[in-house]
Structure 1
Amino acid sequence: MASDLAAKAKEAFIDDHFELAVELYSQAILIDPKNSELFSDRSQANIKLKNFTEAVADANKAIELDSSNSKAYLRKGTSCFSLEEYQTAKSAFEAGSTFAPEDTRFTDWIKKCDKCIAEENGELTTQSSDVTSVTSNSHQPEKTDANTKDAEEEKNISSQVITTTPPKPKYRHEFYQKPEEVVVTIFAKGIAANRVYINYGEQIISVTIDVPGEDAYIFQPRLFGKIVPARCRYEVLSTKVEIRLAKVEPIQWTSLEYGNNNVVAQRSNVSSGNQRPTYPSSKPTKDWDKLEAQVKKEEKDEKLDGDAALNKFFRDIYKDADDDTRRAMRKSFVESNGTVLSTNWKEVGSKMVEGTPPDGMELKKWEH
């Protein structure tokens, strides 16, 4: 029974066996996939394992099943906060507080989000005592449910280091970008549109593909740059899911996902409407204009002998010639069977050009 598995999962959670708790909650979800509380509780276990992206996905599912589940909003908010998704976290806390106005944890977290958002925007000049008191021991929120470690987690979570190791993906994905958007493609064939769930944060996307009888595919990267959720969209096609992310700034993303080693992004040149999209590559970037100039210089400086030199000479003449000269060269060469090459259109334009074989050779016409 799902309830028995959930009870064992809670015991494992209390005993700090968080991986076991996640496994037991997962088994319970297979039996009762419409139970919002199971997803909410698994979200908290994932938070303990610092699997914050998985925790957000579980919280989103819990909210989808029960929009009044205040614990799910709380866990979504704390996970997003750890991912430095402060605006998304604040929205989750504000939504959750409407269903549990007596729970002071929502108010405390909203203040922390406001502080971090202000710091990001360079607007914070002073630190108020009521904000710093959020993390003090004197303001410990009351523990009200079976997961007795919630309050401790919510007090310390902002100082945790993200060390998630994502599982091997079920579907392959890639991306390319334009100055104003990033297009992410997930190669999943034959997926029904109603089995795809996508949520957007300020710098995160949550993609869930839930195929009956299979483990759900979850893709939830923290993005290289910030996006505008209201302008993002996706389309489910027969062979893929295409997601279009609207950039906040027209900067060049050096990767899809954020990382500590990311280099500073360069602002994209948006003056040209015909700019080609750029694709990710592990190979060093090549300066194609420089390579083209180098090839042209090598061709120009190339020393050839015999027929090769003569052909190059004729090619250079033809390349720089006007239309009449080119017409004369083509007509004379074709009509003379390759034995005459004239550049004078007035001379060859009004008559048939007879072949002129080299000395010691005879021109013959082939019978068909």
Structure 2
Amino acid sequence: MSTAEEFYKKANDAFFEDDYDEALEFYSKAIDLDATNPEYLLKRSATFQKIKSNKESLADAERALSLIVGKEEQEAVAAKAWLRKGIAQFELKEYQAAKTSFDQSKKLNFNEKSLDTWLKKTETQLEKTPKPTPPSDVTKNSGTGSSSFLSQSRVRHEWFQNENFIIISIFIKNVNKEKVNVYFADRSVSVTIKLPTGSDYSLELDPLAHEINPKESKYEVLSTKIEIKLKKAQVGIKWGVLEGEDSVFGSISTASGKLSYPSSAKHAKNWDSLEKEIGGEQDEKPEGDAALNSLFQQLYRDADDDTRKAMLKSYTESNGTCLSTNWNEVSKGKVETKPPEGMVAKKWNA
């Protein structure tokens, strides 16, 4: 029988793969076995936030706080709990209550990640809403649930990286530039997009796997997507994941300048590990194009039919800049050419 810690680890793995339904299942099992651990409740609260179940997120944050009150040795955890409570209240449009929670978090831990971002967003909303917002239990349609938010599953986002930047692409067409708000903090980024239909799309990445430089980060609204560039605080460091704890990061060679493949897919491939497996223990390993061809051949040989079709289609249509194994995604349309940072794709004239 699995322990609470084992369920918690499984839940974290599912969370980092964006499988929030599975994450909720495992966090709930961990809580059933150990209802006194506030960290379990806070992670489930964060998961509820991801799927816009804001009332449930608020309930878990308040429950976590009830376990911590009066325990000075857990001030850092209490700061996170107040922050999580404030985020849930903000999403429920209880802006004054959210500000109170954020202020309380700041008192306990001035350096709590993403506080400045949320305080700024809350103060902006309070300026637009002079009158206090009634509590969620007496306000009709106060939540920002799935009816008012564009379903996360209908909007695709991918991320890449190079030596200097993390590049996030959110694929939404024909968005008004004035309706896009992006907030950068040291370990978080918050994106809110007002859609032509009147609904909102929200993407909260908190905490990011590593620190960024908010002042040098930027975004651009294009006709087919919103592209966000996060400037790495540590240039040359390769991120293993976009969000959460990163235990597999390494370095990116400045000589290659290549983008890594997106790791936002549910079943992301560890390309570095695959390349090592292909190379084995040989003294002489292929380099450059030879190494890439060897990697491609190995993957193709061991793949099923759908994976092979996805690899051929993505690699061919993107002119060698993208390699995908997800046929369900690739089959939906042409795969765009995505050249490395600082390079421009040009047509070859025979």
What's the TM-score once normalised by structure 2's chain length?
A: 0.41
What's the TM-score once normalised by structure 1's chain length?
A: 0.39
Q: Which has the higher contact order (CA 8 A, sep 6+)?
A: 2
Larger Rg: 1
